[in-house]
Structures are given as C-alpha cells and as structure tokens.
Structure 1
Amino acid sequence: MADREVTQDGSSVAVDTTPRRDPHGLFSPAARALGRLVGRRAKWVTVVLAVVVAAAALALGGSAEATSTTATSLPASAEAARADVLRNQIPSGGNAPAIAVFSRPGALTAADRAAVTAAQRRVVAGDRSRQGPPPQYARDGSTGLLVIPLSADLTDDQTSTTVEQLRTTLRGDLPAGLQVNVTGGPAFSADVGKIFEGADVRLLLATAGVVALLLLLTYRSPWLWLVPLIVVAVGDQVASKAVAALSRVTDLRADGAVTGITSVLVFGAGTNYALLIIARYREELRRTQDRHEAMRAALRSASPAVLASSSTVILALLSLGLADDPFTQSLGYASAVGIAIALAFALLVLPAAMVLFGRRLFWPFVPRLGQAEPTHHGFWSRVGERVTRNPVKVGLASAAVLAVLACGGFGLRIGLTSTEQFLQKPEAVVGQEQLARAFPAGTSEPTVVLTRSDQVAAVTAAVQKVDGVASVRPAGSGGGITELDAVLSADPNSSRAFDIVRDVRTAASSVPGARALVGGADAEALDAQTTAARDYRVLTPVILAIVLAVLLLLLRSVVAAVLLVLTVMATYVASMGASWFAFDHWLDFPAMALSTPLLAFLFLVALGVDYNIFLTTRAREEASEGAAARPAIVRALAVTGGVITSAGILLASVFAVLGVLPLIQLAQVGTIVGFGVLLDTLLVRSVVVPALVSIIGERWWWPSHPGPHGTSEPEPAP
C-alpha cells in the first residue's frame, strides 16, 4: 500500500505505508522506548545529559588502583600460589632478586671484576637491604653476575622506577667494553611495564585514526564521520574511568593489557553499532519526511539487533568470571563494563546527536524522500542472487576453503617462555640469554622448595637426585619453614623446565612429614598453563551456550540458532589454523601465548555472531512481511551487505591496532580476531549463511515462522 506525500519542494511522491509486523519480540519494548529519546525536545535533553554525565565521569573517575608485581595470574589453590603465601612468612621471603649480568667478548679482565665489586658497593650504599651474596663468575670467565634482592611488595610503577634506577647505578664507572644487563623477575616486570608506558595514548590515537579514516571512506562526507567518532571516543573515555573506579573497590586489575584490550573493544563494538544505526536511519530518511520519525523507525528496526549483539558480548565477557586466571577475570569484567557503556552511547547518545543536524549531515549524498533504495539492486544484491542460485555448490566450495584454512593449525604449540613474549628484545631478555649461555639456565629465577625446617636434609637430598636440578641451597628460614632454592638446567618456562618442576614436586612430596610446596617462576608458569587449559575447557561451552541462548531468544528458531553457532565455530577454527600457519612459517613465533586461544575464541564467537545477527534479523523482518526464505535472505544481504562489510573491515583494523604494542600475545590476539572477522564478514556471512538458508528453505525459521499466520508466499524458482 502506498500514499502520496508532499516533499519540501512541493512535489508529490509515493511513500510505502504498509503496516509492518514486529518480528523482534523480546527486544521490541526497549526499541520503542529508545524512540522517545529522539523527539524534538527530548534529543536536546539526551545530549545535554550525556555531556554532563561524561564530564562528571572524566573529572571524578580518577586513576586505576596500583597493582603489586607479586600478584600472580593463578588461583589461590594452585601450589605455586600457596608456596608464595608460605614464603612470605619467612623474613627473607619477601624479596624478589634482580640479576645484574656483566659480560665482555672473550673473558672478563681483572679490572672488570674489580668494577663488578665496585658496582655492588654502589648498589648497597643506596640501600643496605640490597646486599646480596658475593659476585659469581662463569667457569669460562666470560660472565659475572650479582644477585640484588628487591622487595616483592612493590607496585608495578615502583618496580619500574627501582629497576631503572638500579640499571643507571650499575652502569656508572664501568670500564670500556664491559656490558651489564639487569634481568630476573623484577626486570621482566619493569620491561613489560615500559611497553605499556603511554600505551593508552598510543592505542587511543591509533584506534581513533583507523576509525576516522574508515568512517570517512564509508560515508564520503566531510563531517558525518565526526558524529559517531566523537560519541564513541567519549564513550571510550567514560569506560576507562569506570574501569579505573571499579579497580579501586574490587579485585579487578586494570593493567595496561586489560585497559588496552577494553579500549579496542569499545571502539570496535561502538563503531559497529553506530554504522548499523546510521545505515538504517539513512534508509528510513528515504521513506519518511520527518527526521525524528525516521530515527524512531530506524531504532525500532536496528536496536533489537544491536541489543541482541551487545547482550551476547556482555554475557560472554561476564562468563570470564568463571575463569581461574585473575587476568582473564579482570579482562572479562572490565570489557563487559566497556561494552555496556559503548552500547549506551550508541543507542542513547548517537541517535539524539544525529537528529540534531538533520539530513544536511549526509552531504553531499543527502538521502531524499521517495528516493529509491540503492542497495536493493547493488553489488550485495547480485552476490545474494548468485549464491542462492547454486547454494549447494557455493556452500561446498566455502566449506572446502574453511577446511583448508583450518589445516594450518596442525602442529599448534601453546606456551611462551619469559624470553619469547616480546616482539623486540628488551634488556631483561638480553641479560637472560647471556646468563643462560654462561650459567645453568635457571640461575636467574631458581625453583623454590618450601619445607618444614626439621626435614631440610631429607628434602634437599630428594630434590638433588632429580635429573635437571643443577644445585640446591638453603635461602632462608623462619617460623619453622625453610626455603630451598633449586637451580634448574633447563631454560625458564620451557617444557623441559616444566618436566623438572613436576619431578621436583614428586620428589619433595615423597618425604614424610615435610609438607613441601614447590613455587618460583617455573612452577608458576606450569600452574598458569594448567589454569589456562582448565579455563579453556570450562569457558568455551559456556560462551557457546550464551550465544545460542541469545540467538534463540532473538530469532525464535532452533535451526537458525544452531547453524549460526556452527558457522562462527567454523570461522574460529579456520582463523586459528590460518593464523598459526602465518605465525609458524612467516612470522617465526615460537608458540601461542597461554590465553590466546581462549581470548580469540571469546572475541570471534561473541563478536563474530554480531554480523549474522544483523543479517538474519533483517531477513526475519523481510519474512515477517511475507517474503519466502530465499528472497528474504537476498534482500537482507542486499541491504546490510555494505554496512556489515564496512563494520567488519573496521573491527578487524581496530584489532590490528593491538600490534602497536610489542607483545607477542597482543599481536596474536589482534591477528587471529582481525582475520577471523574478515573471514566471517566476507565469506561466512555473505556466502555460507545465504547458501544455508537457500538449501534449508522455510525450515530455517522452525519452529516459529515470522511470516503472516506462520506461512509465507511460495518461494520462486531459482
């Protein structure tokens, strides 16, 4: 049905006024409520309130709670964590040694050795608590080392400052050619901290730059892109302050990695939501004269998909609270807060800000009333027609592509050593490598064995018999507990070191009455590996269940929900395989970081399903108006193809920004998610899903068909 409506220039155009069925069910009341915020007066109130709230958050949010370098990414039940608690009861147990490694090509001279002794005196003169054992020298005379005790209770910032001062002190008055590198646990913490110095600013500038460029290319307007960019950027800053405030009242650790990933998610998700809303608004402006009514119609259609998408992401992130790894828990809670704030700014602030400026905001491509919708016969419409014309052949070809990509994951290795986590070698890694060449590899961070003092001799004897233990010596005692330091011959955090730690635990626990606990850096890394494997096993089915539940509530179709979940799982497997092939053969990464598979799974499944939600909710809307399954999915692809592709490219580019930080883990997460999003956008959503809908037909909507009275018009022959 069509009516005539008079435009601003006095001409008359036909406007479609056929009543539309409401296909969105559960999310429809919220969509209608959002429409009330874009009225002629309400829009000003909404924008002003948003400005006031944002200003208050930025002024009062404060900074994140400082964290201690002793805080470990382990559950309290892990043996290494229990050993750390017990170790703190020993007077000397609150120390974390920094290792100064002195080296010269060839061998150290007598003057070099005198300089090492003088360097130790300079360090101790500044703080008597840093008095360690006398200098040690390698058998070949090439290397000397100083063990410098530092407090284990320093915050990250204090550790970075202390290590930097220590490095400056040690380099004073050294003979020409004598090099010194500080390594050990505190030095690694300091070097990681240095990577994140100014990281928020670098990430924000890089992310904002990428988003601005892609928005400009998408809209080809000199000012339209500024509105979503400003709204999302303000939302990101409000989210940052909210996370900082949360860290002060909870156990959430808002370190550089957590805040960096959260910022990327806020920008990526917020801009995706903005793209979908603006695209639907522009579409409605071609049907409706009044921009306020056009935005209300856009919100009624687009906001259910945005709400379903964001609900999936938020619930999946909150499920990380079930993890044992404190870093994973913190990332889940912080990112959930960030996505919730991004959603609020996208659905509350952005629509009101858009209608402030009217149609002129889209100049030079201003949508006119009665103008034909260009997407109906555009590129994505032709793609949909070709895919659905031969769905079986296209589906099989797509499945073959995904299978080939997945095969790249054969030989996948998980677990990086402490020296392998950096893209560029910091001083701590250089020192560790030099130390490993001249001394037993575990010298810088010995494995700690804690036992009852009356069983020291028996435990020492048992541990010394373990193959791979170079030496065992007492390192302090108190309260009836003695600490033994066992130096391992294997590289720190290597699989060989983990095997030795397991054998040490078996040997120490076999001594009757010793109640021995084994900790230290290698033991912590081993327990972290066990924790990561447990979290992956537990959380992946939980995340899948959340995604499936949201799809069922939104689409009310068991068939569609199950198949869409299977498609995002296929995307994850293919992306992991292709990325590992690139890491192993081209980028020469030694392995994947422990938490990379879980984080990649979370982001790809929770974010990847977004585009299928955007596509299938539009298809359901078309079906509710009487379209059969095949034409419904073709029309949905035609209308959403451009905006979803833009959103996918933007999200992939935003995740690629994580590469500005030289940590392998962040580079891996950014690569896997970025490639997976592109794969999902360009292949799975554009080809696989339309092919599946064409093959299955009306059964795609089972058991709740959205068409009038549960039926639809006969599907035309292909």
Structure 2
Amino acid sequence: MLLVGLLLGAAVLAFAPSPTEGNDAGSNLPDDAESSLAAERLASLPDGDEAPAIVVFSRDGGLDASDLQAASERAQALGEALGVEALGPIPSDDGTVALVQVPVTGDLSNEENSELVAEIRDVAAADLPDGLTTQVTGGPAVQADLGEVFSGADTRLLLVTAAVVALLLIITYRSPWLWIVPLAVIGLGDRVAAKVVDTISAWSGLAVDGSITGITSVLVFGAGTNYALLLIARYREELRGHESRHEAMRQAVGAAAPAILSSSGTVILGLLTLLLADSPFVSRIGLAGAAGLAVAVFFALVVLPAAMSLPGRWLFWPFVPKVGDDDAAHRGLWSRVGPAVTRRPAVVTLAGLLVLVTMALGALGLRTGLAQDEQFLDTPESIAAQATLSSAFPGGTASPTTIATTPDAAEDVAATASEVEGVQSATVAPGGDDQTTEIRVVLESDPGSEQALSTIERLRTAAHDVDPGSLVGGLDAEAVDEAATAASDRTTVIPLVLAVVLVMLLALLRSVVAAVLLGATTVLSYLSALGVGWLVFDHVLGWPAMDVSTPLLAFIFLVALGVDYNIFLTARAREEMAATGDATGSIVTALAVTGGVITSAGILLAAVFTVLGVLPLVLLAQLGVLVGFGVLLDTVVVRGLVTPAMVAWIGPRFWWPSRLGTGG
C-alpha cells in the first residue's frame, strides 16, 4: 500500500495541470450583486473595463511650481511609455498633493497587471526634484500589491507549518525519528492536495489564490496530523497486546478508522455546504478544503499505516512498546482528571458552561466589514497612497463610485446623486452608447468607512427613484454587497452544518441525547472563541472589525473540527460502555486513554492554524487566532472537563435511545 500511495502521489504531482488564473479568487461578491451587475454593464462601453492607476505626488510643506512641472513631465513620460493618455497633474485645493490618472485595461492577468504597475512606479519616480515623492494607488495598484504580499507566502507558510508540526511531534513522542514518518506522509499529502486543488481549478475554471491555498494547506496539515496522532496512539496501544506489528496495525486501523472517517466525513460535508454560499471566496474554500481533507484522510489511513509498519517497534525508541506492558495512559494526567471531574459532575458541568457563556458574551457588539486600508497587516504603497490622497482630496477620489443608467435619465440621475448627503460630486462621463451611460460619483468619506457605506445606501435609493434600472457600483458599493452576502451565507450555511454534525454524531453514537448535547457544547465553544477573539481584536490589536468572511469560516472550522474531538472521546467511551455498562467508568477510561492524544492533537491543530498569521491579510490572522484559541478551548475545557462531567451526571441516559441507554 505504501508503494501504491507513493505512485499515486507521484502521478498527481507530475501530471496535474496549472490552476485557473483570475483576479476574483478572493472575491466575496456574487455575480448577481448590484455592484457586479453595474461593472458588467459598464464593461460593455468603450474603455468601460478601464480602471485608473493614480500617481500621487506630494512634498512635506506643500508643492511648488517646479513640483507641478515635474509632475507634468512624469505624466507625459507615462503616456509615452505606456501608449496611453495620462490625465493631470491635478493639484488639490490646498496645494499639498497632486494626482495623475493613468488608464489601465481590466483584462490583464495578475502577472501582467503587476508588471504594468511596477513600470508605472518606476517611470513616475524617475528624475524627480529632491523631496518630491510619488506613490501609486487605484484598483490596479491595490491588486498588484496584494499579489506582491503573497509572493513566496506559500513556501513560507509550508516551512513554518512543517517546523511547528515537527517540533510538536518530537515533544509528543520523545523519539529522535518517529516524528519523521507522520511528518513526511502528511507533508507529501499536502503537496498532493495542492495539486488536486490545482486540477479542480483547471477543470472547473474557478480561480484560486494564496489565501485559498494557504487555508487548505493548514487544514491538510492540521487535520491530517490529528488523524495520524490518533492512529499512532492506537497502534502503540495494540503493540502491547500483539507480537506481530502487522497484526497490531490491522487492529489499530480497524479501531481508529471509524472515528477518523466519521470525523473527517463531518468536516468534508461541512466544507461542501460552503458550495451553497453566494460568496465565491467562501465557496472556493469549501471546495478546496474538502478536496484537501479527502487527500489527507487517504494518506492517514492508507499510506501512514504502511509507512509505520515497515520499520517495526524500534521506531518508537527509546520508549518501545512491548507485549504485556501497562498502558502509560492510565497513569497520566488525564487518568487523574477523569475521577476528579466525575466526582461532582453537576458542579463541574455547570461551572464549565458558565465560563463558556461568559466568554461568549464578548461577541456582543461584534462588527464585521474591513475597509480596504484595514485588510493588510503591513501597509503596502497603494494603501499609504490612499491616505496621502485623502488628506487633500475627497475620500472617494481614489476609488470613485459609478452609476450605470440610461442616456435619457443620465442628467437627472447625476443631478439627484449630487444632492445625496455624503456625495462630493456626480458627473456624466463621456463615451456612453445608446443603452448605457456612466455617472462618476466621488464620495466625501474615506473608502470603506461606515460613512461611505451609508452614503452608498442613500445613493442607491435616490438613483433607483429616478431610474429603477440604474445600478450603483464601485469599491464601496461592493463592500455593501459583500456584507449583505456574508449575512445571507451565514443564514444559509450554519443550519446546514449543524444538521450535518448532528446526523454524523447520530450515525456514530446512535444516541439522540449524546448527539444533541455534544453538538450544543461544540457550538457554545465556537461562540466562546468568537467572544474572546473579538475582545482581543477590538481592545488589544486595535482591529476595528472582523472581515465579513471570518465568522462563517471560523464556525465551519471550529464546529466541524471540534466534532473530531467529540468523536475521538465518545467513540472510545461507547466502546467501553458496551463492555462494562458503567457510564461514569467508561468516560473516565476513555478520557484516560484518549485525553493525551486529544490534547496533543488540539495543541498541534491550534499551532498550525496560528501559523496563518505569517500570511499578510487580517482575515487570515483573525481566522488563525479564532480557530487556534477555539481548538484549545474545545480540547481542554469542553472535551477534558465538561463532556466527562456531563456524561457522569446524566449517566446511562446519555446513550438514549440506544440499548446502552436503556439497559438492553
């Protein structure tokens, strides 16, 4: 099986096609959103797909005549170098900043756009007087900077993730070489999973970017290593009862596979529900994550057992398990925690739930929606240029709002728009056709601010009153539509994920009581992580809001992955309950045997998700913190304390209506 797995992996690595390239891989905007329809309608106009790059000229103390002359020369040079007509320089009223607009076509690939923006920056900065600085912003520059911050990020993420996993495996197994086997297997699985995602992207035409591949890689490493820890722990246990390592591995796979398949199946189905989301970014994460996790399960249950069986018992040196040895797990920390928490189960259960509810209260007042300049951990040039521009021009100058309307209504729509509170100006753009005319609107507020989004709502109402068929687009309009899409996706996806979790728990445990209570504690654990996370983001890190995608993605990962630990613990408790009929004793034994591996798996998964912080987006950092803390909370407080106490408090009825809960 090892050879088969390696050959399949090699074939995928060798023959997988390149992924689909696109500029909208990270978009939260569905095709039927008003801003999307506006962009599509305006793209049919001559030069309608153009988005200007804006060169910002500034000097401490203000610009003088020679600075404006130099800016004029740079505008001419840009026009000659790029074969376009650069407009400007346009000085601000206070004379501190001037801008030049350079038209850029919207049909460029990411690489072509990055090269063009780099050329604009080089030409704009050439031969300037001392003290005169240039910065380039606008849609093309933001897109180029986003691509630049992801440059090399996949490699950096992979190296840091592998290093974290290696360190934690060494600490877990205290062996100089055992860690190499699961790390090598899961590492190969991660590379194969990446190529599988590329193949899906190429066949489906769905674009992927660094954020999607990064999240998928972390999911494969985290979940794959979790399954490896569970399998290896059961293998070590079986080696104490079997002379043959092959027989021990067969028993280990037979015992661990149901829990691994149930838990991974829950996560995969949960991720696939994201395909029902309207947000392209969220649905693509669901597809990529599900594919990656399926590969991780294959490597954990097919390749890893063969790789672990090949060397023999010495792989565990210096703590080699021998036939007849006592299980050290029965003398570990969790063997003492179980009796302690089940001695007064009602008190422990209620105290644990009170702590979780108190943490969850921190989510009250949670805000979602980051402005463009709030989405990066480090400020790129395009975002810094927006701040420079906004200091002297109306906030919406760098990202004008557009209205697509009919030629007959254009003047009336423009006049009405100019009277909307928060609008600086509204002008009819030249170059329309007999069906569509563009109106360019400059807002007073900074792009992405609450004031700008409120202005968009008022602008849409006013424009629709004049021309019901008009469409308001632009970056601020997109932000409004993204927020609405995210709220709709949460309403659609969250109930489906909860249904999947309950069905999987029912199928595995055959107990309504167990499924409902375990599902409820998992959701409460998520809300607690969300509450603590929001307090940290708001009061410690100073982030004004969560990204619109963060709550839903964190829910998927925490609830679906949290069920893993539910399944690992309660599946073993059910096994013990069937043998002894003692509900309290079964959960104490299950905690003693699985507590160590669940804790190790939780710490490892939390650390791996925290590694997302090496990537440059606030969304990924927020996701890493929420999932990392939530997993630790789930493994230590919920699975280690609340669940055992709850089982002991309820007794055999925890397993109702199965025969274990009815005394049958």
Aligned AA (1:65)? T
Distance in 1 between residues matched to 2:590 and 2:356, nearest whole Å: 24
Q: 2:533 aligns with which of 564, 579, 582?
A: 579
Aligned AA (1:592)? M
Structure 1 residue matching 2:94: 3-state secondary structure? coil
User: Following TM superposition, by how much is the alpha carbon of 1:270 offset from its aligned partner in structure 2, in angstroms?
Assistant: 0.3
Structure 1 residue matching 2:547: 3-state secondary structure? coil
Structure 1 residue matching 2:177: 3-state secondary structure? coil
Distance in 2 between residues matched to 1:536 and 1:517, nearest whole Å: 26
Contact 2:278 2:489 in 1 (8 A): yes
Q: How do 1:333-344 and structure 2 match up within 5 A? A: 333-344=287-298
Aligned position for 2:33: 78
User: Following TM superposition, by how much is the alpha carbon of 1:295 offset from its aligned partner in structure 2, in angstroms?
Assistant: 0.8
Distance in 1 between residues matched to 2:119 and 2:5, nearest whole Å: 45
Q: 1:439 aligns with which of 393, 396, 402?
A: 393
Q: Deviations over 1:213-267 (max 9, x none)?
A: 0001100111110000000000000000011111111132211110000000000
Structure 1 residue matching 2:310: 3-state secondary structure? helix
Q: Does 1:498 align with 2:462?
A: no
Contact 1:69 1:189 in 2 (8 A): no
Aligned AA (1:570)? L
Q: Deviations over 1:344-373 (max 9, x none)?
A: 000010001111111011011000001111
Aligned position for 2:44: 89
Q: How do 1:290-689 and structure 2 match up within 5 A? A: 290-475=244-429, 476-512=431-467, 515-689=469-643
Aligned position for 1:274: 228
Aligned AA (2:439)? L
Structure 2: runs of 5 or more not aligned: none
User: Following TM superposition, by how much is the alpha carbon of 1:541 offset from its aligned partner in structure 2, in angstroms?
Assistant: 0.7
Contact 1:68 1:153 in 2 (8 A): no
Structure 1: runs of 5 or more not aligned: 1-45, 713-718
Contact 1:474 1:485 in 2 (8 A): yes
Structure 1 residue matching 2:405: 3-state secondary structure? strand
Aligned AA (1:191)? D
Structure 1 residue matching 2:373: 3-state secondary structure? coil
Structure 2 residue matching 1:93: 3-state secondary structure? coil
Structure 2 residue matching 1:259: 3-state secondary structure? helix
Aligned position for 1:41: none
Distance in 2 between residues matched to 1:422 and 1:223, nearest whole Å: 39
Q: 1:188 aligns with which of 118, 128, 142?
A: 142
Q: Deviations over 1:534-574 (max 9, x none)?
A: 00111111111111110000000000000000111110111
User: Following TM superposition, by how much is the alpha carbon of 1:400 offset from its aligned partner in structure 2, in angstroms?
Assistant: 2.1
Q: Does 1:54 align with 2:5?
A: no
Contact 1:69 1:155 in 2 (8 A): no
- Aligned-residue CA RMSD in angstroms? 1.3
Distance in 1 between residues matched to 2:373 and 2:515, nearest whole Å: 44
User: Following TM superposition, by how much is the alpha carbon of 1:71 offset from its aligned partner in structure 2, in angstroms?
Assistant: 8.5
Q: Deviations over 1:593-646 (max 9, x none)?
A: 000000010100000111111000000010111231100000000000101100
Q: Deviations over 1:36-81 (max 9, x none)?
A: xxxxxxxxxx111111111111111143211135985322221111
User: Following TM superposition, by how much is the alpha carbon of 1:711 offset from its aligned partner in structure 2, in angstroms?
Assistant: 3.1
Aligned position for 1:101: 56
Q: Does 1:711 align with 2:631?
A: no
User: Following TM superposition, by how much is the alpha carbon of 1:201 offset from its aligned partner in structure 2, in angstroms?
Assistant: 0.3
Aligned position for 1:175: 129
Q: 2:160 aligns with which of 206, 211, 214?
A: 206
TM-score by length of 2: 0.98
User: Following TM superposition, by how much is the alpha carbon of 1:497 offset from its aligned partner in structure 2, in angstroms?
Assistant: 1.0
Contact 1:69 1:159 in 2 (8 A): no
Q: What is the percent sequence identity of the aligned residues? A: 53
Aligned position for 1:127: 82
Larger displacement relative to structure 2 (514-523 or 296-305): 514-523
Contact 1:69 1:156 in 2 (8 A): no
Contact 1:422 1:662 in 2 (8 A): yes
User: Following TM superposition, by how much is the alpha carbon of 1:127 offset from its aligned partner in structure 2, in angstroms?
Assistant: 2.0
Distance in 2 between residues matched to 1:251 and 1:637, nearest whole Å: 46
* C-alpha distance 269-342 of structure 1, shift in aligned 2 (>3 A): same
Structure 2 residue matching 1:180: 3-state secondary structure? strand
User: Following TM superposition, by how much is the alpha carbon of 1:515 offset from its aligned partner in structure 2, in angstroms?
Assistant: 2.3
Distance in 1 between residues matched to 2:254 and 2:4, nearest whole Å: 23
Q: Deviations over 1:323-382 (max 9, x none)?
A: 000011111000100000000000010001111111011011000001111112321011
Distance in 1 between residues matched to 2:390 and 2:155, nearest whole Å: 36
* C-alpha distance 69-398 of structure 1, shift in aligned 2 (>3 A): closer
User: Following TM superposition, by how much is the alpha carbon of 1:479 offset from its aligned partner in structure 2, in angstroms?
Assistant: 4.1
Distance in 2 between residues matched to 1:462 and 1:473, nearest whole Å: 11
* C-alpha distance 69-614 of structure 1, shift in aligned 2 (>3 A): closer
Contact 2:17 2:198 in 1 (8 A): yes
Q: Does 1:256 align with 2:210?
A: yes
Distance in 1 between residues matched to 2:134 and 2:651, nearest whole Å: 70
* C-alpha distance 330-551 of structure 1, shift in aligned 2 (>3 A): same
Q: 1:68 aligns with which of 23, 48, 51?
A: 23
Distance in 2 between residues matched to 1:487 and 1:237, nearest whole Å: 46
User: Following TM superposition, by how much is the alpha carbon of 1:425 offset from its aligned partner in structure 2, in angstroms?
Assistant: 1.0
User: Following TM superposition, by how much is the alpha carbon of 1:208 offset from its aligned partner in structure 2, in angstroms?
Assistant: 0.3
Structure 2 residue matching 1:145: 3-state secondary structure? strand
Structure 2 residue matching 1:176: 3-state secondary structure? coil
User: Following TM superposition, by how much is the alpha carbon of 1:579 offset from its aligned partner in structure 2, in angstroms?
Assistant: 0.8
Aligned AA (1:571)? S
